[in-house]
Amino acid sequence: MSLVERIKSLADSKKMTLAELERILGLANSSIRKWDASSPSSERLQKVADYFQVSTDYLLGRSEQPYYTLTEKEKLDIGQEVDRLLDGMATDAEVNFYGEPMTEEGKAALKAAIQMAMELNKQKAKQHFTPKKYRN
């Protein structure tokens, strides 16, 4: 899939034309269609990527993942940070996030996220362990 085809596909998913996208981003008329023949500047390419919240690597065909993904190391680091946060919450110690004290708003958001995750797991557990004849 070419650069223009990827952008067209993203525009189609938002039910917009390339002309509408160009107007929104302040690009010249029909400029995107020309990008298969002549490469756009990095600034213009980044504008499109930012608008659709995808990576420039995806637009250029270097990645099939349209959105930024985490590396295994980043996932491991986050897991370790979560463990540390939970330990701090359990002991009523000051909760820090990567060395910075967590705000009350941050604590509330973290609590809501954990609660949502636990509710989803509880629902799955109930479905898994409830005999089929008693399920809704």
Going along the chain from its start, the domains and CATH numbers come out as 3-59 (1.10.260.40), 72-134 (no CATH)
When pLDDT is averaged across residues 13-19 and rounded to a whole number, the result is: 95
More confident residue, 87 or 69: 87
Nearest-angstrom CA–CA distance, 47 and 50: 5
Task: Tell me if the pTM is above 0.95.
Answer: no
Residue 130 is predicted with a pLDDT of 66
Q: Which of 6-15, 57-66, 96-105, 126-135 has the lowest mean pLDDT?
A: 126-135
User: Band of the pLDDT at 88, cuts 50, 70, 90?
Assistant: confident
Query: What's the pLDDT score for residue 134?
Result: 59
If phi > 0 it is left, if psi is from -120 to 50 it is alpha, else beta; for residue 99 that is: left
User: Residue range 112-125: average pLDDT?
Assistant: 80
Confidence label for 64 from pLDDT (cuts 50, 70 and 90): confident
Rounded to an integer, the average pLDDT of 10-39 is 94
- Check residues 32 and 88 and name the one with the higher pLDDT: 32
